[in-house]
Amino acid sequence: MGNLETYRNLVNLRLEQLFAQPHDGRPELLNDAMWYSVKAGGKRLRPCMLLAAVDMLGGDVSEAMDFACAVEMIHTYSLIHDDLPGMDNDSMRRGRPTNHVVYGVGQAILAGDGLLNLAFETMLNASSRRPERAAQDLLAIGEIAKGSGVTGMVAGQCLDLECERNASMSGVDVLEKIHEGKTACMFVYPLRAAARLCAAEEETLSALTQFGKMYGLLFQAADDLTDVVGNSAEAGKTLGKDAESGKLTCVSIWGVEGTRERIARLQKAAIHALDGFDARADFFRTLAEKAAQVS
Amino acid sequence: MGNLETYRNLVNLRLEQLFAQPHDGRPELLNDAMWYSVKAGGKRLRPCMLLAAVDMLGGDVSEAMDFACAVEMIHTYSLIHDDLPGMDNDSMRRGRPTNHVVYGVGQAILAGDGLLNLAFETMLNASSRRPERAAQDLLAIGEIAKGSGVTGMVAGQCLDLECERNASMSGVDVLEKIHEGKTACMFVYPLRAAARLCAAEEETLSALTQFGKMYGLLFQAADDLTDVVGNSAEAGKTLGKDAESGKLTCVSIWGVEGTRERIARLQKAAIHALDGFDARADFFRTLAEKAAQVS
């Protein structure tokens, strides 16, 4: 088992291969716009979790690499579209101008579309090189598609947007639906894809699903809390935006202390979901501990 | 072999099943926004061509249905995003307000993202129900992904947008690259997917590829010509937009008569590509004849 840095280096290396000098004839401008945002990526949490899960289940990390990169492409496309005018209208992300500020709204829309499509292309290409495992690969790609789709991430973003424009949509149920969709699904389904790639048993699949969900909710709760109590320089982004825009967040519902309690509870639940795994799951236990640390 | 109407009815029936009352828990607003544009669809040319090719090659049309519907979803998403401010900024399509006019820019972006993702989900779901054909299905989905992706449709749209903003990009080579990408690819690759679903031989694959390319260029040349000489009521859209915006089109390069000649030449080439097929390819021969009729 590696640590986060080991996996991140592998992911970055493969992303570099996929974007730095593509030889498939894609337009240069399109590739530049996609790579601009992919390159700016942070911790590569989601692809690393997929690789770590494959590793933990005894699978081949290098064979899973293109699935991991696809997950990062999907995550990146969602950020590009999320930042657009008409969505969050953000002009800075990770300390750099957002995609549409640099390339214009039209090209940013296409860069996002291109990344979502390329994610599938990348997984399908990898799979077509090993037809003997086609059935397993189909299930794995299906998990990613479900996670990023109209009952997953896109659903969460739709509700989030609807909620901002409709004051009558509020409360714990709405919040949890939004956080599950827009945040937790992109942890849950990459983990499920890893399990599919390893032909893992149902029990493993459901333990990873539960961990992913608890971790995702924890991650979002910590993000909500950071927006209120965090330090902008450390967080690498403008804070205080949620309260300013009257957004429905953990803090708007439970307050600062209540959110801290929620974080502690979710951390425990995430770690509890891993009870059936031995020390090889320590990668995930550490992740949950780190995610819960909001100063 | 059916005719266009037979296949269209089948496609519409299945699309209705997939959108009219979905039971997968997707947000109602998201489904409404997607269905609004899918429902407004016209001739369903692309999915019908996929089904007709499967039929012609002796495959099972009903087994190919979800692939056909996926193609229509991808076509629809591209129209929703194309109409957005920042892209073509169109407020009417097929006689109705465009998606973002009705649902707002943010939800229209998400409706497009949702449709692209749902296209893959739909194909992957269909494939996972028949694991014994997984390897073939992977290749078929891979063809669709390539057609709609960063070397296909998205590439064409990127170049088209770049070209509008950059007067130094012009000439026949640029035009053909744009038309191949944004128009022909979504004919070529669904046909290739049909061939994959039927495990057709290389020769069939390349004949259909050639037909799709010639047909796509023909289709776009006819569209360009209609914009100049057509009747708005018949065409169901505002005409004269291309000339007004100084867009690079067949007419801007070859003039009206030159474009008519190009259309005749492309029609011949499309039909010639089908020489190896018997009367079962008449569906496609008729399509090429009809596409060439611009009054």
The per-residue pLDDT for range A164-194, each reduced to its tens digit, is 888 888 899 999 999 999 999 999 999 999 9
- Residue, of A241 and A198, whose pLDDT is higher: A198
pLDDT tens per residue, range A196-232: 999 999 999 999 999 999 999 999 999 999 999 988 7
User: Which pLDDT score, from 0 to 100, does residue A236 have?
Assistant: 67
Asked if residue B178 lies in contact with residue B248, where contact means CB atoms within 8 angstroms, the answer is yes
Q: Residue B263 and residue B26: Cα distance in Å, rounded? A: 44
pLDDT tens per residue, range A272-287: 999 999 999 999 999 9
Tell me which chain A residues have a C-beta less than 8 angstroms from the C-beta of B127: 138
Q: Residue B67 and residue B62: Cα distance in Å, rounded? A: 10
Residue percentage of chain A with pLDDT more than 90? 88
Q: Residue A118 and residue A114: Cα distance in Å, rounded? A: 6
Asked if residue A44 lies in contact with residue A72, where contact means CB atoms within 8 angstroms, the answer is yes
Are A138 and B128 an interchain contact pair (Cβ–Cβ within 8 Å)? yes
Tally of CA atoms within 13 A in the half-sphere of B62 that contains its CB: 0
Are B114 and A149 an interchain contact pair (Cβ–Cβ within 8 Å)? yes
Q: Residue B41 and residue B73: Cα distance in Å, rounded? A: 10
Mean residue pLDDT of chain B comes to 95
Which of B26, B84, B128 has the CB atom closest to A109's CB atom? B84
User: Is the pLDDT score of B264 beyond 90?
Assistant: yes
Q: How far is B81 from chain A (nearest CA, A)?
A: 8
Asked if residue A206 lies in contact with residue A64, where contact means CB atoms within 8 angstroms, the answer is no
User: Is the pLDDT score of B98 beyond 70?
Assistant: yes
Residue percentage of chain A with pLDDT more than 70? 100
**CA nearest B67: which of B2, B147, B3?**
B147
The mean per-residue pLDDT over the stretch A46-75 comes to 98
Minimum Cα–Cα distance from B149: chain A residue: A117
Tell me which chain B residues have a C-beta less than 8 angstroms from the C-beta of A113: 77, 81, 112-113, 116, 154
Tell me which chain B residues have a C-beta less than 8 angstroms from the C-beta of A134: 134-135, 137-138
The mean per-residue pLDDT over the stretch B17-29 comes to 94
Tell me which chain B residues have a C-beta less than 8 angstroms from the C-beta of A196: none
User: Is the pLDDT score of A260 beyond 90?
Assistant: yes
Q: Residue A156 and residue A178: Cα distance in Å, rounded? A: 5
Tell me which chain A residues have a C-beta less than 8 angstroms from the C-beta of B120: 120, 141, 145
Are A142 and B162 an interchain contact pair (Cβ–Cβ within 8 Å)? no
For this complex, say whether ipTM is above 0.90. Answer: yes
DSSP state of B92: E
User: pLDDT category, B255, cuts 50, 70, 90?
Assistant: very high
pLDDT tens per residue, range A107-120: 999 999 999 999 99
Are B30 and A106 an interchain contact pair (Cβ–Cβ within 8 Å)? no
pLDDT tens per residue, range B156-211: 999 999 998 888 888 999 999 999 999 999 999 999 999 999 999 999 999 999 99
Q: How far is A59 from chain B (nearest CA, A)?
A: 21
User: pLDDT category, B53, cuts 50, 70, 90?
Assistant: very high
pLDDT tens per residue, range B234-244: 776 778 888 88
Are A117 and B86 an interchain contact pair (Cβ–Cβ within 8 Å)? no
Q: How far is B245 from chain A (nearest CA, A)?
A: 16
Q: How far is CA A94 from CA A24, A113, A224, in A?
A: 29, 21, 17
Minimum Cα–Cα distance from A143: chain B residue: B121
Minimum Cα–Cα distance from A103: chain B residue: B162
Asked if residue B269 lies in contact with residue B214, where contact means CB atoms within 8 angstroms, the answer is yes
State the alpha helices, DSSP H only, in chain B: 4-19, 28-39, 45-56, 61-83, 99-103, 105-128, 134-148, 153-165, 172-179, 185-197, 202-229, 232-235, 241-245, 250-272, 282-291
User: Is the pLDDT score of B246 beyond 90?
Assistant: no
Q: How far is B119 from chain A (nearest CA, A)?
A: 9
DSSP state of A239: -
User: Is the pLDDT score of A295 beyond 90?
Assistant: no
Asked if residue B227 lies in contact with residue B262, where contact means CB atoms within 8 angstroms, the answer is no
Two structure tokens written together for A213: 């969900």
User: Is the pLDDT score of A241 beyond 90?
Assistant: no
Amino acid in position A26: R
Q: How far is B284 from chain A (nearest CA, A)?
A: 28
**CA nearest A179: which of A81, A72, A74, A251?**
A251
Burial of B277 (0-12, 13-18, 19+ CB in 10 A): middle
Two structure tokens written together for A286: 């550490």
Which of A74, A109, A174 to mutate to probe the B interface, most B CBs <10 Å?
A109
Are B118 and A149 an interchain contact pair (Cβ–Cβ within 8 Å)? yes
Tell me which chain B residues have a C-beta less than 8 angstroms from the C-beta of A104: 86, 165
User: Is the pLDDT score of A23 beyond 90?
Assistant: no
User: Which pLDDT score, from 0 to 100, does residue B54 have?
Assistant: 98
Asked if residue B34 lies in contact with residue B86, where contact means CB atoms within 8 angstroms, the answer is no
